[in-house]
């Protein structure tokens, strides 16, 4: 058995799309195990750009099996639209190429309503969600009120499950001045979407078990990043699921020993979308330069990302909490032409130096980065695929990251093109 989990080691947007696509070409099964359609991956294959939000990246490659695991919350209408867009781009999706866990919970229109109402009502301390209903859907899942995929297969079950869910949400909606839910309309919407989802439903845990017995290569594809993890991230400015590699097992129906190599995606600098603390953020010309050179706009939201120097303290914490065995360093070429570079090696807080990010949000907001300065390089790294051809200063930068984070850099990405990578370590194990 050979498997790899790939997860973000910062605040998401680390360039997973290209790397997951590159890895999926070598895998047999690609599994999404958490999150929803608030995640975004951009793939460029043979000059064609594909933007995915919910579907695993392997879905655009013939001969691969893509799986949406039980840890994902699924908006069936958004999934239907995404599949239709891919069909227009020439991608054929069948029940043989896509399986959806029958246990996955649904995102309903009432979840989107609640998400938007909460975010709009927050006069201060807004989380900065995508307003797509992800959080409220997870709330109903753990509250045991959720509609799950297998409920779509039986109208009688839906009629039994909906009243309690509707009653709960009507109480919340009253506080926001939203109209009561039309239960019959919601039921009909579910009955209408059901035929589009049912053919893809499967006990995906069995599919994965069989694949392991057949020594298939499995790629577990994470969304967002470690610092958005609901337990280990910059709470409350986090997503509503566990984003660390441990969730790959629980979110797919696999055992923890079935997740082998864990690769953590890290940009050569740091970005963040939305609200929340960001110790190394640069609100100056350098930050603007990083954003412009890196084309830092969210795939899903289109929002401009905040930019700053690489935070090695945060990445080291992600390595330790997420069991990361190797790093994938992306966007190295964005740093071409900088005379000097900085890496955060610690934080200063009330006269003390910390080597970790505190759990309390107010302390996270107050820490000041302690920087180490390294020389930059003037030569271009764009498109380089050979380690020996990197400028010496670029090599030194990568090696310093290894020392500061405690994890080897297994892959270096030097452009958006999928083949422009330098492989320095094992990929599947």
- Annotated active-site positions, please? 13, 41
CA-CA distance, 332 to 398, in Å (whole number)? 9
CA 403 from chain centre, in angstroms, equals 25
CA-CA distance, 216 to 55, in Å (whole number)? 20
Rg (CA), the chain: 22
Q: Where do we find the tokens 């999150």?
A: 35
Q: In Å, how far are 33, 69, 71, 202, 410 from 101, measured between CA atoms?
A: 10, 5, 9, 5, 31
CA-CA distance, 420 to 328, in Å (whole number)? 13
For residue 229, the SS3 value is coil
For residue 225, the SS3 value is coil
Question: Which residue from 197, 134, 186, 132 is spatially nearest to 161, judged by alpha carbons?
Answer: 186
Q: In Å, how far are 151, 271, 288, 387, 398 from 376, measured between CA atoms?
A: 57, 19, 18, 17, 12
Burial of 189 (0-12, 13-18, 19+ CB in 10 A): middle
Residue partners of 177: CB distance under 8 A and separation at least 6: none
- Say how many Å lie between the first and final Cα of the chain, rounded: 8
């Amino acid at each position: 058995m050979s498997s790899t989990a790939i997860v973000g080691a910062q605040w998401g947007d680390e360039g997973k799309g290209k790397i997951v696509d590159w890895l999926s070409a070598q895998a047999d099964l690609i599994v999404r195990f958490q999150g929803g359609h608030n995640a975004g991956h951009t793939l460029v294959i043979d000059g064609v750009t594909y933007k995915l939000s919910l579907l695993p990246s392997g879905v655009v490659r013939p001969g691969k099996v893509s799986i949406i695991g039980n840890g994902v919350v699924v908006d069936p209408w958004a999934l239907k639209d995404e599949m239709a867009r891919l069909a227009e781009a020439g991608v054929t999706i069948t029940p043989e190429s896509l399986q959806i866990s029958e246990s996955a919970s649904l995102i309903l229109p009432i979840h989107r309503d609640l998400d938007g109402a909460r975010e709009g009502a927050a006069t201060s301390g807004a989380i900065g969600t995508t307003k797509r209903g992800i959080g409220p859907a997870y709330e109903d899942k753990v509250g045991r009120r959720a509609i799950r995929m297998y409920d779509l297969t039986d109208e009688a079950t839906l009629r039994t499950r909906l009243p309690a869910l509707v009653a709960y949400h009507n109480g919340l909606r009253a506080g926001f001045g939203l109209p009561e839910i039309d239960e019959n309309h919601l039921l009909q919407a579910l009955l209408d979407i059901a035929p589009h989802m049912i053919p893809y439903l499967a006990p995906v845990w069995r599919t994965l078990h069989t694949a392991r017995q057949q020594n298939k290569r499995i790629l577990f594809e994470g969304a967002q990043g470690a610092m958005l993890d609901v337990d280990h991230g910059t709470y409350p400015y986090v997503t509503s699921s566990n984003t660390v590699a441990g969730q790959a097992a629980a979110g797919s129906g696999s055992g923890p020993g079935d997740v082998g190599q864990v690769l953590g995606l890290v940009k050569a600098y740091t970005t963040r979308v939305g609200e929340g603390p960001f110790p190394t953020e640069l609100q100056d010309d350098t930050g603007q330069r990083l954003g412009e050179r890196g084309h830092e706009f969210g795939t899903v939201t289109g929002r401009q990302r905040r930019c700053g120097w690489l935070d090695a303290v945060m990445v080291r914490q992600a390595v330790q909490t997420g069991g990361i065995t190797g790093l994938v360093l992306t966007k190295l070429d964005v740093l071409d032409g900088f005379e000097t570079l900085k890496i955060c090696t610690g934080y200063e807080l009330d006269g003390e130096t910390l080597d970790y990010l505190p759990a309390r949000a107010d302390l996270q907001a107050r820490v000041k980065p302690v920087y180490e300065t390294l020389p930059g390089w003037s030569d271009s790294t764009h498109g380089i695929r050979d380690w020996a051809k990197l400028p010496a200063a670029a090599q030194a930068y990568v090696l310093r990251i290894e020392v500061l984070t405690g994890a080897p850099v297994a892959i270096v990405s030097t452009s958006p093109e999928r083949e422009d990578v330098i492989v320095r370590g094992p990929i599947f194990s």
